[in-house]
Amino acid sequence: MSNRMIAAKALVKCLELEHISTVFGYPGAAVCPLYDELSRSSIEHILVRHEANAGHAASGMARISGKPAVCCATSGPGALNLITAIATAYMDSIPIIAITGQVCTDQIGKDVFQEADITGAAEPFVKHSYLIKDAEALPDTVKKAFYIAATGRPGPVLIDVPFDIQSAEIEFNDDDYSKTVDIRGYKPGTVGNKLQIKRVIEAISEAKRPLICAGGGLFSKNSFRLMIKMAEHCDIPVVNTMMGISTIPSEHPLYHGMIGMHGQKVANRAMNECDLLLLLGARVNDRAVLALESRELKVVHVDIDPAEIGKNLPATIPVVGDIKVVLKQILEQLPQKKHTEWNNELKKQTADNRSSSPAPVDRTSAVNPKSFLKILNRLIPSDSVIVADVGQNQIWTANNIALSGGGRFLTSGGMGTMGYSVPAAIGAKKAAPHREVIAICGDGSFQMQMMELATAIQHGINIKVIIMKNNRLGMVRELQTERYNDNLTAVFLDGSPDFIKIAAAYGINGDYLTDEKEADKALITLLASKKPYILQVEVNESAVSLI
Amino acid sequence: MINKKHTISVLVENHAGVLSRISGLFARRGFNIHSLAVGITENPTISRITIVAEGDDYTLEQIAKQLNKLVDVIKLRSVKNEELLSRELLLIKINCTPAQRPELIAIAEISEAKISDVSQTTMTLELSANQMRISAFEELLKPYGIKEAARTGVIALQKGANSLTG
């Protein structure tokens, strides 16, 4: 039976067949055929206020749902605005599908209105990209794009669709949406090499001071559960990278916090004193791991991406494979072990650290971020999603947020993109409407994304925003104080508006918090709100990242 | 670590944009390319790119791994130079008066080069050989004055029965 339709309609049908229920985007002339079809589909379109935020929202959604999420923009500037979000997703291995409009095929290369070579411009930041030149190939391309984004090491895939292609008639039947994908240049491996698995088990059995460093890769198919099982089975302490926060409940007796230049002393000490480091789904970023090479240390590196193994740190035992499969393989044969002495050393330090009170700051007009986050920890539901932005707020949150099992921490870890938290929270909330989703940002980063309050209100997305306000670009201020002789320049946010009034203008309630003693009350109100809510927390301008 | 030259044969999808993905990868990761030659293979949907790159063992391993990550890269093989059958084509135009022609014809003959074009003042020669012979040939012609020269970059196949196919 013949089933003719325009390619834009087929594209929407493909998205429906991929179980996409939400698309974040911003229309323009070059994507009008797609938007026309989208309006008649089962898919909800969330109109963001800047294209980058469509990408960040898709990223937030993908991280919570574990499946690719879709963002959409028009040709030229619309597509170019998406690049930061695509690059942010690429650095953190988040599967998003970016669909962009493009000028008509016969006009490509002529520098016509709103033309940009987006597949070329985005090339360094995509897992793969397609410029569609044959309308009939569109459905198959969409299938491949979803497959590439979701499998192996996840990442963003861009599909650039010229205007005339969107309007061209093609034959499309749901059944034709091929069920299996075969790409000859793309065959991600999943199973770990048996010999290497055997070596890992031997290494764990021989180790006196083993340590697991948990990375963001462990969120893939909830593999973190197997990691916890392995840690408990062999009594191995666990630290994590920033991307790995919330792979293990914060109160877990084997957990010792985040590593790296902004991490916990005890976590870094564990990294430096262990004799076997099990890097699980972590890519050894420069901010996370420094100078481990100089000492005797066995490194087991498990990653789905062979290129990450040995890139930043030589691995004694490299294991390429799907982390879930590899952990299963290891657990099948792993004998139990105890490391009482090694654990006791670390536990003592962690306990001291957890019970220590934060350094006193002037309480009359400012809130100590550490104390504030401790109160937040006490009040939030255990399955909350906390999205930290970038800057001091990110470090405060990363080090002090305590999420028990089921909670999730999100942030732009690799790229460090300011303005990520609010749109990512919007995406996360769409993926998990019943969970509490809280964005924590600074007054600098908030002003890169406050237009998205309109998106939240317009589409009834009940996110909460906490602004840690210190009237400074705090992270840069701190750097200038420490390294540039306190020459503070270009870090003052003097022109900022009253954020609670701004929120009110959007029809969003909010409150100011200047006294720590009021924090409980303020947070209870925030959490009780059935609509978006903003809390502005006054923080001392001289507060440091590591508190 | 010691830098060495490596020849990498890469089979890629034969469609637009692939070369740009590969050259972009080398540029942004700071890998040095000595030469790069592209052409179609026995299978019209596949092109073969022959890259001569320089680096230490770490860099060469990274080049191979990063290339493999590209979806358009079907297969690749990095082969030691002694196991390679490699050729480059040189076209070279040199100053040549009618009186000098016999000498140059003799040089061409000894070097197994062909005479492709002759004018009143120049002679153009072509030579297909490995890089070492090409360079030696160029040296030999220098005294006459090289007006212009073009080299294709190395293409290579592995010696023996082994082959790299899609």
Same domain, yes or no: A346 and A363: no
Nearest neighbour of B17 by CB, restricted to A119, A186, A307: A119
**Cα angle B32, B35, B38; round to 5:** 120
Q: Quickly count: other Cβ atoms within 10 Å of residue A190's Cβ.
A: 14
Q: Is residue A182 one of the residues assigned to a domain?
A: no
Instruction: Measure the CA–CA gap between A519 and A523, rounded to whole angstroms.
Output: 6
d(CA A30, CA A13): 19
Residue A454's pLDDT is 98
Positions of CATH 3.30.70.1150 in chain B: 85-155
Q: Is there a domain that residue A187 lies in? A: no
Which residues does chain B have within 8 Å of residue A148's beta carbon, measured at their own beta carbons?
71
Asked whether residue A170 is assigned to any structural domain, the reply reads yes
The reply to whether residue A310 touches residue B58, judged by beta carbons under 8 angstroms, is yes
Q: Burial level of A225, CB count in 10 A (0-12/13-18/19+)?
A: middle
The answer for residues whose C-beta is within 8 angstroms of residue A140's C-beta and 6 or more apart is A178
Task: Identify the residue among A93, A131, A157, A184 best suited for mutation to test binding to B, counting B beta carbons within 10 A and taking the highest.
Answer: A184
- For B27, which residue in chain A has the nearest alpha carbon? A124
Pick the residue from chain B with its C-alpha nearest to A153.
B69
Distances in Å between the Cα of A196 and the Cα atoms of A24, A370, B58, B69 are 43, 42, 21, 22
Last residue of a domain, one of A306, A325, A351: A351
By C-alpha distance, the chain A residue nearest B26 is A124
Q: Is residue A467 in some structural domain?
A: yes
Based on the fold, state whether residues A346 and A376 are members of the same structural domain: no
| A44-47/A69-73 β-pairing | unpaired
Single residue among A303, A333, A351 that ends a domain in this structure: A351
User: Which of A298, A330, A351 delimits the end of a domain?
Assistant: A351
**Cβ distance B113 to B52 under 8 Å?**
no
Of all helices (H) and strands (E), which one includes residue A238?
A: strand A238-240
Note whether residue A459 is domain-resident.
Answer: yes
* Domain contains A86: yes
CB contact under 8 A, A307 and B21: no
Tokens standing for B48? Answer: 């073969």
**Residue A184 in contact with partner chain B when CB distance is under 8 A:** yes
Out of A124, A131, A185, name the one closest to residue B13 (CB). A185
Q: The tokens of A536 are what?
A: 């502005």
Q: Which residues of B touch A131 (CB under 8 A)?
A: 16-17
Q: Å from B97 to nearest chain A CA?
A: 46
| Three-state DSSP class for residue A25 | strand
Output Rg (C-alpha) for chain A, integer angstroms.
24
Which residue range is the domain that position A414 belongs to? 359-538
Question: Cβ separation of B21 and A127 shorter than 8 Å?
Answer: no
| Chain A neighbors of B14, CB-CB under 8 A | none
CA A422 to chain CA centroid, nearest Å: 12
Phi, psi of A284 (to 5 degrees): 60, 55
* Same-domain status, A79 and A154: yes
Residue with tokens 């029965």: B161
CB contacts, 8 Å: A310 with chain B: 58, 61
pLDDT score of A286: 79
**Counting beta carbons within 10 angstroms of the beta carbon of residue B42, is it exposed (0 to 12), middle (13 to 18) or buried (19 or more)?**
exposed
Site from A90, A91, A123 to mutate, B interface, most B CB atoms within 10 angstroms: A123
- With vertex at residue A124, the alpha carbon angle to CA A118 and CA A128, rounded to the nearest 5 degrees, is 75
Determine, yes or no, domain membership for A188: no
Contacts A186 to B, Cβ<8 Å: 71
Residue type, A243: M
Contact A310 B24 (CB under 8 A): no
Q: Residue A226 corresponds to which tokens in the numbers above?
A: 């197997």
Are A184 and B68 within 8 A, CB to CB? no
- Cβ atoms B95, B104 nearer than 8 A: no
**How many other CB atoms are found less than 10 A from the CB of residue A521?**
11
Residues A278 and A202 in one domain: yes
Q: Does A185 touch chain B if contact means CB atoms closer than 8 Å? A: yes
Residue from B12, B15, B69 to probe the interface with A (highest A Cβ count within 10 Å) = B69
Kindly report the CATH number assigned to the domain that includes residue A432. Answer: 3.40.50.970
Are A24 and A113 contained in the same domain?
Answer: yes
Task: Please list, in sequence order, all residues whose beta carbon lies within 8 angstroms of the beta carbon of residue A433, skipping any fewer than 6 positions away.
Answer: A462
- Residue in chain A closest to B65 (alpha carbons) equals A307
**A189 belongs to a structural domain:** no
First to last CA, chain A: 68
Instruction: Please state, in angstroms and rounded to a whole number, the distance separating the CA atoms of residues A335 and A331.
Output: 8
At A317 the pLDDT is 96
CA pair distance A186, A164, nearest whole angstrom: 29
Interval B34-84: pLDDT, tens: 999 999 999 999 999 999 998 998 999 999 999 999 999 999 998 887 888
Residues of chain B with CATH 3.30.70.260: 4-79
- By the CB < 8 Å criterion, does A305 face chain B? yes
Q: State the ipTM, two decimals.
A: 0.90
Q: Output the domain CATH number for residue A265.
A: 3.40.50.1220
Token pair recorded at residue A402: 């305590």
Identify whether the C-beta of residue A298 lies closer than 8 Å to the C-beta of residue A316.
yes
d(CA A250, CA A256): 8
How far apart CA A12 and CA A38 sit, in angstroms, is 6
The reported pLDDT for the residue numbered A364 is: 59
Dihedral pair phi/psi, residue A86, rounded to 5°: -65, -45
Dihedral sign of CA atoms A349, A352, A355, A359 in order = negative
Residue with tokens 């294709």: B152
* The two structure tokens encoding residue A116: 């940009």
Strand ranges inside A259-381, DSSP E: 276-280, 298-303, 317-320
Tally C-beta pairs within 8 A across A and B. 38
Is residue A365 located within the same domain as residue A335?
no
For chain B, the three-class secondary structure string (H helix, E strand, C coil) is CCCEEEEEEEEEECCCCHHHHHHHHHHHCCCEEEEEEEEECCCCCEEEEEEEEEECHHHHHHHHHHHHHCCCEEEEEEECHHHEEEEEEEEEEEECCHHHHHHHHHHHHHHCCEEEEECCCEEEEEEEECHHHHHHHHHHHHHHCEEEEEECCCEEEECCCCCCCC
Question: In the prediction, which pLDDT does A356 show?
Answer: 72
Kindly list the distances between the CA atom of residue A198 and the CA atoms of A202, A237, A280, A336, A466, in Å, as whole numbers in the listed order. 6, 21, 16, 15, 48
The Cα A13–Cα A106 span in angstroms is 26
Structure tokens at A367: 């809130």
User: Using CA of residue A190, residue A191, residue A197, residue A201, what is the dihedral sign?
Assistant: positive
Question: If chain A, 547 residues long, is cut into consecutive pieces of 10 residues, what is the mean pLDDT of each piece?
Answer: 92 97 98 98 98 98 98 98 98 98 97 97 98 96 97 98 98 86 93 97 96 97 97 98 96 95 93 95 82 78 95 92 97 96 94 72 76 96 97 96 94 97 98 98 98 98 98 96 96 97 98 95 98 97 89
Distance between CA atoms of residues A280 and A213, nearest Å: 6
Same domain, A150 and A121: yes
Q: Is A327 helix (H, G, I), strand (E, B) or coil?
A: helix
Domain B85-155 -> CATH class: alpha beta
**What is the predicted pLDDT for the residue at A354?**
75
Pick from B82, B90, B79: which is nearest to B129 by CA? Answer: B90
- Residue B134 in contact with residue B90, Cβ under 8 Å? yes
Please give the Cα distance from A313 to A152 (Å, whole number): 21
A23's tokens: 């698309």
Q: Within an 8 Å CB–CB cutoff, is residue A183 touching chain B?
A: yes
Domain count, chain A: 3
* pLDDT of amino acid A357: 64
Residue A179 pLDDT: 75
Q: How many CB atoms lie within 10 A of CB A114?
A: 17
Q: What is the CATH number of domain B4-79?
A: 3.30.70.260
Between CA A443 and CA B69 the distance in angstroms is: 39
Contact B166 A184 (CB under 8 A): yes
Question: Residue B159 and residue B81: Cα distance in Å, rounded?
Answer: 10
pLDDT at A294: 61
Beta bridge partners of A238: A212, A255
**Which chain B residues contact residue A305 at CB under 8 A?**
69
Residues of chain B in Cβ contact (below 8 Å) with chain A: 12-13, 16-17, 20-21, 24, 28, 58, 61-62, 65-66, 68-75, 166
Q: How far is A187 from chain B (nearest CA, A)?
A: 9
More confident residue, A105 or B30: A105
Interatomic CA distance for residues A224 and A245, integer angstroms: 11
- Contact state of A306 with B71 under an 8 Å Cβ cutoff: no
Q: Which residues neighbour B27 within 8 Å (Cβ) at sequence distance 6 or greater?
A: none
A205 and A262 housed in the same domain: yes
